[in-house]
Chain A
Amino acid sequence: MTDKNMNLEDELKSALRRQQAPPHFTERVLAQIAEQNSSTQAVRTPWWSIFTQPLLRWAAVTATAASLVIGGIHYRTVQRERTQGEAAKQQLMLALRIAGNKLQLAKARVNEINATPSTNRSRSEEE
């Protein structure tokens, strides 16, 4: 072993020797970790926090109210149209049934006349 090597070994031993931690080292590390965590939370703001701005909050309220009003009007229009359409359908069915009924009546009477024996018919015609 040379003197040079001996010196290096001594230097390494000196550098890597066990040392006592400075006073309050643990508390300081923990405090630093806590500080870092709180700063990270502050950066991650929720999406709804945009409504904390008054202008945006009013815009959102107005848009919601407008949507509700338009939706309500549309719903009422659709309902009214449906009611009127149902009424029109009922009228149509009534008209067709009355017409069909009267045609049936005509057919029934014609049928009766045809079914009547000719002698009876001529007698009734004479009457």
Chain B
Amino acid sequence: MRTKARNGIVILLLALPAALRAQDTQLPPDVERLSAKAKETVEVKMDGPMLRWASKFLSAEDPDERKAAKLITNLKGIYVRSFEFESEGAYTSAEVEELRAQFRSPVWSRVVGVRSQHEGDNVDVFFRIEDDQMAGIVIISAEKKELTVVNIVGPIDVDQLADLGGEFGIPKLNAKTLPKSPIKSVAKADKGDQK
């Protein structure tokens, strides 16, 4: 009896790190399958200590870096995997659906789900809610020749984050023209998706 209890404790101790790792999901493991087909890949894996360290090198004089320093203050990790493919159809919608399915749990709320038949851009944004607080965000962007999965662990100001993206090739959107409630718009987008 005592041996069984001891074995149980040993197994628990051995399983603890894995369980802790699983809590802070970095990126879905399935996403790695797509790297073989990709022309170009981007991989960023930064945990809390790495973020703190990198933040020391951010310049207070550069406006973007100043924003970045503010954004990452309470973050526990940023994980990005982006694939660019040679041609369209390098991945199937089922593969993307598998990725999305991993965030269909009570802790995750899907706040944006856009399906654009014409442009071929499908974007999903999931928020992780813990104790009524935002504890993370996952973005899955499936474009014709590009697939990107972003997982940000920890509370983050979404507007400020989007602001940083405005200087990456897509012009900044006028805040006045943005929908007041994205969830309402998502419902419409979802409706289109179901069709």
Q: Which residues of A contact B (CB under 8 A)?
A: 82, 85-86, 88-89, 91-115, 121, 124-127
Contact = CB atoms under 8 A, between A and B. Distances in A.
A32 B188 CA distance: 116
Contacts of A96: 68, 71-72, 78, 161, 164-165
B88 to A, nearest CB: 17
Contacts of A105: 121, 123, 141, 170
Contacts of B170: 101, 104-105, 108
Contact of A100 (B50, B168, B186, B191): B168
Contacts of A110: 112, 114, 178-179, 182, 185-186, 189
Given A88-B57, A102-B141, A95 B169 contact: no
B150 A99 contact: yes
B53 A85 contact: yes
Given A82-B57, A91-B44, A99-B137, 4 more contacts: A85-B54, A85-B57, A88-B54, A98-B150
Given A94-B44, A110-B189, A103 B57 contact: no
Contact of A95 (B80, B173, B195): B80
